[in-house]
Amino acid sequence: MGYMLAKDEEISLVIPEWHEDEEDYFEIILNETLDSVGYIKYYYFVDPVTGNISYRIYEEYRGKNYAKKALKLLARNIFKLDDEDLYISILPNNIASINTAIGAGATFYQEVEIPKSYIISEHGKYKYANMYIIKNTKEKEGNIK
């Protein structure tokens, strides 16, 4: 099945055995049925336009808060391993994704311009996106209370 990063009562985040890339790709798996309902990616760098997190829930599984649950689960576990904050770039008309990010603890960070070369611009159709952030509250090195 692959490497399991984390699980809760409903879903698991699993890196498939076939995956090798410059990001961590996690399938979002339902614990009860082992169905894959979507994926969430964590990139090892923060792109100034797209951030370092992306996610997608397959259409037939939408509306059940799987993305929000996966984002919370990922944040909780990535923050144990990495000091980076999580940045999510969302088109302003994607209300469902905005609600997902906010529901997982993200706050508005800044507006970003989307160059035409980025796939999310859809050949210049979208000129800007809103960047949201989930702050890593783990104490940084040198920050001793």
Q: What is the pLDDT of residue 82?
A: 78
Record the tokens describing residue 85, joined without a space. Answer: 């904050």
What pLDDT shows up at residue 19?
A: 58
* Residue 115 pLDDT greater than 70, yes or no: yes
pTM: 0.86
The amino acid at residue 44 is: Y
Residue 15 near residue 24 (C-beta atoms within 8 A) = yes
User: Residue 142 has what pLDDT?
Assistant: 45
Q: Is 105 exposed, middle or buried (0-12, 13-18, 19+ CB in 10 A)?
A: middle
